Amino acid sequence: MGARAALVTGGSSGIGLAIARALGEDGYGVTISARREDKLEATATELREAGLDVQAQPANVVSEDDIKALVAVHRERFGRLDVLVNNAGVGIGGAIADAETKKLDMQLDVNLRAVYLMTRECIPMLKQAGAEHGKALVANTASIAGKYGQGWLAAYSATKFGVVGLTQALHKEHGHDGIQATALCPGFVSTAMTDWVEGVEKDQMIQPEDIAEAIRYLLRTSRACFVPELQFIRAGDAL
């Protein structure tokens, strides 16, 4: 068996970066992707300087062509895919009554459609890995807003509920192929996406490394242990 490989979207910062770093430290070859090429390449350079086997491929996940190109670049470099992390996402707040269609469509396209298309394009490689070792993993970054609908984040909540449902359906379709699918459902995580949050300091939020450790846990469980979702609640918050 060759070295295992992972693909992480939204990998230039925050949760995606923490996961990519953890997988690289654990010996995975990693492809990271994000929309901004300059920031992505700077991140890849940082990880390479730490001795990790990382390649960067910019992609706008709204584009089906970019998604297909990303998967092709990963396949050409590593030849296999053991872990897919669908982490790219966007959240735009506001009341339902005031929502702009353009902003609604952006969240649907990035948070749900792209997860579906990325997964579809990666299934052949994931099935090969699942047949080899029975533990190919698809981890989809959802949100606690995908478990409990949040006012003024209605579109975001709806897309994340969709991610949870898609994750469940994927496991039903491909669990017998050795593919395990888990939805990650965190509350506020200390990333740029939560800069707007008032009254909660960054050091009081869930840390990106907490999510990365969850990926490590999922990869260490037995083939017989399927974890459909993980919820991450900030200490002190009520459910």
Torsion of CA 82, 10, 167, 65, to 10 degrees: -80
* 78 close to 70: Cβ distance less than 8 angstroms: no
Tokens of 33: 């992707």
* 80 close to 129: Cβ distance less than 8 angstroms: yes
* 178 close to 207: Cβ distance less than 8 angstroms: no
Of the listed 28, 116, 156, 217, which one is catalytic?
156
* 166 close to 116: Cβ distance less than 8 angstroms: yes
- Active-site residue flag, 148: no
Pairing of strands 136-141, 29-33: unpaired
Task: Report the catalytic residues.
Answer: 156
